[in-house]
Amino acid sequence: MSRSIWMNGTLVAPQDATVSVFDHGLLYGDGCFEGIRVYGGTAFKLRAHVDRMQDSARRIYLEPPCTADELVDAIEQTIEANRIEDGYVRVVYTRGKGSLGLNPFSCDQPSCIIIADTISLYPEAMYRDGMGVIIAKRPRVPIACLDPQIKSLNYLNNILAKVEAIEAGVLEAIMLNCQGNVAECTGDNIFLVKDGVIKTPDTSAGMLHGITRQFVIEEVAPACGWTVEECTIVPEDLFQADEIFLTGTAAEVIGVTGIDASVIGAGVVGPITLRLIEQFHTMVAGELAERT
């Protein structure tokens, strides 16, 4: 099926969805983005994603080319035009066309691009059997250098850590901050379970406060009778954990059964993780039913 791309107010064919070679998004990774899951033709947690998109733009001094309401409408229009039932939306703001210098204010008009398509981040078997990960040697960029709440187009720090994972034969890597504490994975947030207590790194560790992370902390875990402790986590805590799981827009909730050469817990997806996965899908279905 040929997809339609929403670009600056118009739905166009993919081959016509182009940006200038002078766009600072291409030249310098100057822009921001959001990834949004679609269930039953409806964007999940759409307003939260749109609000974060607008916030990312303003944190990099990029005046959003769309209001929040306009962006919501454009995303829904793109999902409908592409007949996406279970899929993914990528929303991108680029700085726009400018000079060959770093000055962002030389760019006259930012661009907005919306892509709706299907997605499969991890093999289905991993949700049943768990996945292996590594701890990347490359640390996260310090908060003082780049605010991790900016979902920037420049993902090179994460990409290079992702390469470490791929070269090790796995699909994800845990990233530490420069203090050696656990921050996040290359594309997911991380949680551990120890003696029945669920823990996750505090945002001060230098990671993005994911929408799915927030959903698990504020809604999914409490619905199961658990609270989540946000605290400092060191690598040794991971190796001693009973269970580990990751959360992300595309990943949803997925268990980790090994780190590097070490087995986590019993080497299977643990009972708390399995319960959270079940509750996640129950609550997604419930929220969807309320909208229809």
Residue ranges of domains in the chain: 5-117, 124-289
Which pTM value belongs to this model? 0.95
Q: Is residue 108 scored above 80 in pLDDT?
A: yes
pLDDT for the residue 160: 98
What type of residue sits at position 51?
A: D
pLDDT digits (tens, 9 = 90+) for 27-44: 999 999 999 999 999 999
Q: Is residue 153 scored above 60 in pLDDT?
A: yes
pLDDT band at 290 (very low <50, low <70, confident <90, very high): confident
Angle between helices 46-59 and 68-81 (to 10 degrees): 130
Report the C-alpha gap between 278 and 253 in whole angstroms: 9
> Angle at Cα 111 formed by Cα 77 and Cα 119, nearest 5°?
50
pLDDT for the residue 218: 97
Residue 145 contacts by C-beta under 8 Å, 6 or more apart in sequence?
none
Q: 5-117, what's its fold?
A: D-amino Acid Aminotransferase; Chain A, domain 1 (3.30.470)
- For residue 97, the 8-state DSSP code is B
**In whole numbers, what is the pLDDT of the chain averaged over residues?**
96
pLDDT for the residue 1: 54
The catalytic position among 45, 97, 151, 199 is: 151
The answer to whether residue 151 is catalytic is yes
pLDDT digits (tens, 9 = 90+) for 236-282: 999 999 999 999 999 999 999 999 999 999 999 999 999 999 999 99
pLDDT band at 146 (very low <50, low <70, confident <90, very high): very high
Q: 124-289, what's its fold?
A: D-amino Acid Aminotransferase; Chain A, domain 2 (3.20.10)
Residue range 188-197: mean pLDDT, rounded: 98
pLDDT digits (tens, 9 = 90+) for 62-96: 999 999 999 999 999 999 999 999 999 999 999 99
Residue 126 contacts by C-beta under 8 Å, 6 or more apart in sequence?
171, 254
